[in-house]
Every structure is written in structure tokens, then in C-alpha cells.
Amino acid sequence: MGELTVGSSVGVRLTWDYEPTDSRTGALYQRAKQMQWSVDDVDWRLPVEFGSPLPDDSAFAMTAFAASPLARRGRPAWDAFRWELQAWMVSQFLHGEQAAMVVASRLVEVMPDLESKFYATTQAVDEARHVEVFSRYLRTHVPHPYPVSEPLLLMLTDILGDPRWDVVALGMQIMVEALAMAAFRLAGNTFHDDLIKRITTLVARDEARHVSFGVLALGGLYDSMTSAERAEREDLVLESAALIRRRFLLADIWDRLEVPLREGTDFAAHHELMIAYRQAIFSRVGNALGQIGLLTPRVRTGLERLDLIRFTEGATR
Ligand SMILES: [Fe+2]
Ligand SMILES: [Fe+2]
């Protein structure tokens, strides 16, 4: 399936200050050690019949099916789409998890204080476990996993190549991790077997810590930046968000299902269900951006324009 090499030069930091300074990151580190689990804890005997007929979708989803380019092929085509969406999502999780593992180890190198370094080492172990668990699921149960989607590849290349630690943390801990966490939380509704639902529940617990770490590490940082520096971070958010939107037009799936690309992506871009799905997937990114003080007017406007966020009285939904 190929490989990716990203060149980057980072300032690796060591500190000789061993005095604890940040009790919240310290507490997160202690919790991370207590909450470790093993891939063998999962009950791998849970059955998965990939591609089997599915129970009726919600009325809203069935309306979407009727409006989709799959409608003329009949109901089995919708089930095929739902299974392919699951296979695609889990495949993208897997590729994202590997990048998260690499980034966590990068954060060990570049973060300034010891407690953040401690915490990031536990995250690297978490991410290794996530790579292990998703790749085992895909190898065992999914006949044709998907390669990394092009928009995700572009996003990871941008993030991994950046020498600034806060930009790496923003890209990965906020944009990628919070997105994944929301997707894991939606798994109960959007995935079709108990094994993957069990796996995503376990993984989501770890990801919640990772997002908290991102929020702790980045919170308050932007206040001390110049407006030019802050604008660069806003650019990263908006560029990543545009790539996320493009990724969720699902080109890879339309291609596999032999739906003309234009028809498939038009449906994904405009149907109410697909927009609501992207907004649900993006909701935690919006929350996390708010928590770190980066949901600036410019970012809000950009995200609204991408239809990833709607504001009701200032709250994300
Ligand atoms: Fe992860
Ligand atoms: Fe993570």
C-alpha cells in the first residue's frame, strides 16, 4: 500500500527541571497509566458478517437513500453503501492512528516541560494499540480495506512537516483527534457489528484523554501570540477543515461502488443527511477550538461557509 516520508527539522528539547509544575497534565498522565488495556481484552469471537443485509435505516436515512444515486439500484445498494462507509471509516481511522502514534512521539521530543513529555509517551502507547486493534479488525473481517484518502494524506503531510510544536499539536490533537472521537461516538449508529462498536468504545476513552491533553497544552497560548502568528494557526484550521469536508464527500466510496464521481459527490455535498453527518463528525473539533481560544470570528465564518458548523446563539451544535 506504499509509504509516506515527510522531511522535517524540529528542535528537540530536554529539561533539567524535574519539579512538577502542571498538576492537570500530571493527573492526566496518572490516569493514562491506570486506563491501559490490551487488544486481547476485546472479545474477538463477536461475529462480523461483512456485507450482510442490514436492518432498516432511520426514516431520515431512507429519504437520503431515495434521493441518492444508489436509489435506482434498489435497497441492497444502500446496505452495500453502509458497509463500505464503515470499511472506509475504519481504514481512515487506522491510517490516522498511525500518524497519531508518530506525532505523539514527536511531542515527547519537542514539548517544553517534563509532564507533557510524560503524558505524550503514554499517548504513543495508546496510539500503537489503536493501530494494532484497527488493523486486526480490518485484516480479519474486511475483504477490501481502503488506502489512505488523498485529503487525509495532504493533511497529515502538512502537519508532520511543520517544525512548530504547537502547530503539530493543533493539527493532530485537535483537528484529527477530536474528529476521530466524534466518529467513534457515532459508531453505535453508523457501524453494523458489535465487534467494531466495542473496539470504538474502548478507543474513544483513550481519545478523550488525547483531546484533553491538546486543550491543556494549547489553551491560552494564542493570547500571547502576535496577530500574524495567530493568523497562521487560523489558516491551518481552515485548510484542515476544507480537507476534512472534501474527505467526507466520499469520493473513494463512490469510486468503489461505480457511481459516477460527480453524482456521488454532489449528493454528499448537498443532501441534508450528509451535511448533518459532517456537522456531527466535526462538532467536537468546534468545541475543542472554542476551548483553546481559536474559534475566532474568522474561523467561525470559514467553518460556517464550509457547512461544518452552525451557530445557534453562539453555541456549536
Ligand atoms: Fe488513537
Ligand atoms: Fe489519539
Give the distance (Å) from ligand 2 centre to CA of residue 123. Answer: 7
Confidence tier at 312 by pLDDT (50, 70, 90): low
The cell numbers describing 151, all together, are 485529503
167-190 pLDDT tens trace = 999 999 899 888 888 888 888 778
Domain range 23-29+69-316, its CATH number among 1.10.357.10, 1.20.1260.10, 1.10.10.60, 3.20.20.10: 1.20.1260.10
CA distances from 192 to 32, 92, 189 (A): 29, 17, 8
Give the distance (Å) from ligand 2 centre to CA of residue 130. Answer: 8
Give the distance (Å) from ligand 2 centre to CA of residue 16. Answer: 28
Is the confidence at residue 316, as pLDDT, over 70? no
At residue 20's C-alpha, the angle toward residues 18 and 23, to 5°, is: 160
Q: Near ion ligand 2, which residues have CB within 5 Å?
A: 100, 177, 207, 210
Across residues 286-310, what is the average pLDDT?
94
Confidence tier at 62 by pLDDT (50, 70, 90): confident
65-84 pLDDT tens trace = 999 999 999 999 999 999 99
The single-letter code of the amino acid at 317 is R
State the number of CA atoms in the 13 A half-sphere of 87 facing the CB. 24
Return the pLDDT at 317: 39
Give the distance (Å) from ligand 1 centre to CA of residue 64. Answer: 31
Cβ distance 116 to 206 under 8 Å? no
Return the pLDDT at 315: 46
Mean pLDDT of the chain: 92
